[in-house]
Structure 1
Amino acid sequence: MYIAELKLWNFRKYGAGSNDFDIETPDLCVPFEKGMNILIGENDSGKSAIVDALKLVLKTHAYEWIKVEQSDFARNSEKLRIELHFSGITNDEAKHFIEWLGWYEENDEKRPKLILIYQAELREGKIIPTDVKAGMDGTGYILNAEAREYLKTTYLKALRDADSELMAKKNSRLSQILQEHKLFKKVKGKKHTLEEIFDDANGLIKNYFNNEEVNEDKKSNKEQIVKPINKFLEDFIDERHFSKFDITAAEIKNILEKISLGIEEHTNLGLGTMNRLFMAAELLHLKKENYDGLKLCMIEELEAHLHPQAQMKIIQALDREAQTDIQFILTTHSPNIASKVDLKSLIICKNDNVFPLGEKYTFLGAEIKEGKYDNSYEYLKRFLDVTKSNLFFARGVILVEGWSEEILIPEIATKLNFDLSKNEVSIVNVGSTACLHFAKIFLRTDDKELNVPVSIISDLDTREYEREPQIDANGKQIKKGKVKQYDIIKQKIDEYDKIRIKRITAVLDKKSDFVRPFISKLWTFEWCLLKSDQLGAAFKEVLKNVHTDTFKACGIEQEWEIGLAKLLLSKSLQKTQLAFELSEKIKEMESISFQKTDSFFYIIEAIKHACKNGN
């Protein structure tokens, strides 16, 4: 069994504050997959609220005191509701919830379904909680304690104090983990093996303190320790009370509280290693044999105390576990983690909503393109690395095709008073003309809008002499020019919109105002620099410096064009070096002002669009 859906009404930031909410229309609906689910997003985007809602209903194996607080109610509301919908329930699992189950059809077969319901109210400033209920009628019946035991979750909080949790102490987390394991369950009327071991140890301890043999200082152990204490006891109480030395009460709970966990032949372990050891111990709950309950692990900020390589190693290991019957719900701010999992596992938290990246919700799945399948999931699996994954956490995105744009655009933006870092805008260098694969992350088939402005910057990639149609003496067109790439991208986005409209019931012709292409009107990015009224002169200086042999004798504009065209066609233009040197010159400029007629103005428009959500 696994959680298929979470629904919230008036829970923290997810709610309109109305106490007359409609149970058919939740303020938030979060779909989950059977295996791996990763909630990603910027700070305060609602990831922890989702996890806390799950904990509030399910409780955890850690015996935490979890209760609803006043801060859990949405602003101006006095009533909240949480629903958890479970699917994939096997017959062995269903037997624990027979009184509360409903049914749904899956592949022409009826399967059991379980819905948990939790509600709470504020009355005169006091919280009135209710029991967790279950049922299909929207109200449900109280779920008893025995059934709830099969729904507990394994939970690791953010900024875990692994050293303290694994230390031997009363009610230690390690002792709680071990007590849950069948290996430490006692058979009624019979001592556990560990208790017998401790009985023997206590006997040896007692004999040591009561030893009457005289040692080097001519006094026995009993005479030095036990007799003085017993004499005081006789004076303080009476002669019938005697002292006893032992390790601990020989009960399994007390014994497990005396156990600590470390790594063999290693001492003074760092936070990162202790954190990994603690996670390994907690995951014991998910490895119970013949267990018919929920196997769910929730981890907040998996990356805590872990360097990037460790993050990747751990998420890959957890991803393998997710291929079995374990469900994971994780939160993260780490691009390293986001880049290492299947995109279908990601759920973007933004604008008080969630945006799953599964096939039902985006255009990332397979689609026919020129008679072939163009699956962006497969493409991004190979090329969405850690440097590009920061787009999931950005307030604006600029997709570029190469290093020249990535180097120059931040400097130009700064001169125009659009600091990309301050505006939390990410430049994503896709290293090719495959910007649309990345843009499709933000183009959805549902009626939701991420409200993240995405600027797709691309070259026209059509040479000047190929753009114009050829005309004969009678004014007839002999051969059409190539279709502009702008038209291709714009047409593609329009196609996505048409498909999306068909998939939803809305009839409005709603297009994305956030994902927009900005295509050069001339051949390439460098060609636009050469023809720019504002940057052309500086670009010619660096051209002459980097490609001296080609440009040392250039005079008229045509000579510059011929030289640049030769280098572009032969693919020998040192684009990165040119961009770096030009960026240094831009830093020295006092100000930059572009007119709409400037060949470089499309870049300025792209910068402004991406910064729409800026500070």
Structure 2
Amino acid sequence: MIKSVIFHNFRNMQDKKFIFNDKLNIIIGKNNSGKTNILEGIKLAFSAINNSYMKVDKSDFYKGDDNNLIEIILELDKDSIPSFNIPLPDGTEKCGFKVVIKKAPRGRYIKEFFDIEGNTVSRDVVYADDKVPDVHMIPLMRIEDIVSPGLVTGVRNLLDSEEEYEAFRQSSREGIKGQIKGKVGKFKDLAKKFNFDLDIDSTVPEISNEKLYVVDGEDTAYKHKVGSGYRAIANILLNTLSGKNTVILLDEIENHLHPALLRNLISEMKSEAFGNVFILATTHSPVAVNEFKIERIIDSTKGSVSDLNIDENSLGKINAFLCPGRGEMLVADNIVLVEGYSEEILLRKYVSDNKLNWTIVNVAGIMFEPYVRLAHALGKKCVVVSDNDRSQSSDGNEPTSRFKNLQTICDESGITLVMVDNTLETDLYNNSKLSEYVGHLKPHKKHTDIMVMKDNKSKS
């Protein structure tokens, strides 16, 4: 649905463009780097064309300068919103719209919208376009959205029109499920994909005619005690049931979710179960990041990761070999790349003992090069630690061609490569850094002066 968004003078973004792939994308970045601003900027743009209220104040302007204009430009897939389709000279069409926000008299701010080329479009035509999507921002920690002991949703969220809503208001509480029976069924079916037995209840006396409870459909004794993870999932599912095109802006997708449930949620979001729903989420979780191919990962300050200066061969390797450990480099500040488990164990202890803000990433025998290029493209501080593989070279003394190639790539990327003559274990052993690990070391078979970690089969 949304192909890209451009921000001019919105909050911390003077001029930023973000490109999206398919219907599910994830945004990474440090705290206060602008991840939520991207979500709220998109919601603000849609509020102009679906005639919904979203407050604007001076702080929404870049550096607080409301003498400038805020411009938010969304490029959409063709026919996403037909009233914004524009014919092109080659006979094709493109679709999108631009929202301009400017200061008005008496401290007010007004929103105007145009097609993506800046042409005026009739408000009546746009407001009548039934393809204009529902847009839901879901900050899962927002207290007013979560009412103990369950999750409450407005009936209006499950009905397709104001006419249905008015008809509902005239009906009795007992008629709620009859009017939204199909959507309750869809909700229950979606919940079962997460092994949840959830239902929508309208019989609780203290709930008004315009509220519905999400309840645990199995445990009747504690029917309305729904845990945080259940509420988080239910909140997302409820916002997919309108039957219209839907945009879900999900801030910190991992909130309240066990890692296994988080993986399950992302997997279902990629499937057809969620229908015509565009989802843009933010995260700080390596678990979430690792469920996405690089093409769907967006850095809040640098843009789409796949559009950075990384060659296709490296991108392919990163997608093929990215795993929870290596995925940490996407959310880390400072990275040490190591090639094996012994280096990972030893350096993790060293980093922990010295309270250093470095993340140890084990490439587990995979070539360093793709990760060096990724770290460089993301502007990460990165150090590569590797021995010179002298025992594998032809004469036993010179570094291998693999190592020489790594040296060249690190030099090109301005990344430090630490080369040691022995294995890391030996250097640390010789410098009395491994007093706790002596029992785990043994001499190398070919080079007895080199100490190496015993393999996993060792009784020690």
TM-score, with length taken from structure 2: 0.77
Counterpart of 1:355 (choices 303, 313, 322) is: 303
Alignment of 1:198-213 (within 5 A): none
1:434-473 paired onto structure 2 within 5 Å: 434-444=367-377, 450-463=378-391, 466-467=394-395
Long gaps (5+) in structure 2: 176-201
User: Who is 2:147 aligned against?
Assistant: 164
Q: How does 1:216-615 map to 2 (within 5 A)?
A: 257-266=210-219, 267=223, 268-285=225-242, 288=243, 291=244, 294-321=245-272, 325-349=276-300, 353-358=301-306, 360-363=307-310, 365-366=312-313, 375-380=316-321, 383-385=322-324, 387-412=325-350, 419-421=355-357, 425-444=358-377, 450-463=378-391, 466-467=394-395, 483=400, 485-492=402-409, 511-513=412-414, 515-520=415-420, 522-529=421-428, 532=430, 535=431, 545-546=439-440, 562-565=447-450, 573-574=453-454
Alignment partner, residue 86 of structure 1: 75
Identity in percent: 17
Post-superposition offset of 1:160: 4.1
Q: Is the 8 A contact 2:387 2:422 kept in 1?
A: yes
The yes-or-no answer on 1:177 pairing with 2:157 is yes
1:213-257, CA deviations, whole angstroms, 9 ceiling, x for partnerless residues?
xxxxxxxxxxxxxxxxxxxxxxxxxxxxxxxxxx99xxxxx9851
C-alpha displacement at 1:467, in angstroms?
Answer: 4.8
Residues 339 and 363 in structure 2, CA contact (< 8 A), matched pair in contact too = yes
1:58 aligns with 2:46: yes
The answer (yes or no) to whether the contact 2:392–2:400 under 8 Å persists in 1 is no
Q: 1:428/1:135 Cα in 2 relative to 1: closer, same or farther (>3 Å)? A: closer
What is the TM-score of this pair, normalised by structure 1?
0.59
The alignment covers a number of residue pairs equal to: 422
Q: Is the 8 A contact 2:248 2:280 kept in 1?
A: yes
Q: CA contact under 8 A between 1:397 and 1:452: conserved in structure 2?
A: yes
Match of 1:74 among 53, 57, 62: 62
Distance 1:404 1:62, change over 3 A: farther
Instruction: Quote the offset at 1:37 in angstroms.
Output: 0.9
Amino acid at match of 1:563: T
Equivalent-residue separation in structure 2 for 1:109 and 1:523 (angstroms): 65
> Whose strand proportion is higher, 1 or 2?
2
The 3 A distance-change label for structure 1 pair 378 and 339 is closer
Higher mean C-alpha displacement, 402-411 vs 300-309: 402-411
Post-superposition offset of 1:55? 0.8
Does the 8 A contact of 1:299 with 1:329 survive in 2?
yes
CA RMSD of aligned residues (A): 4.2
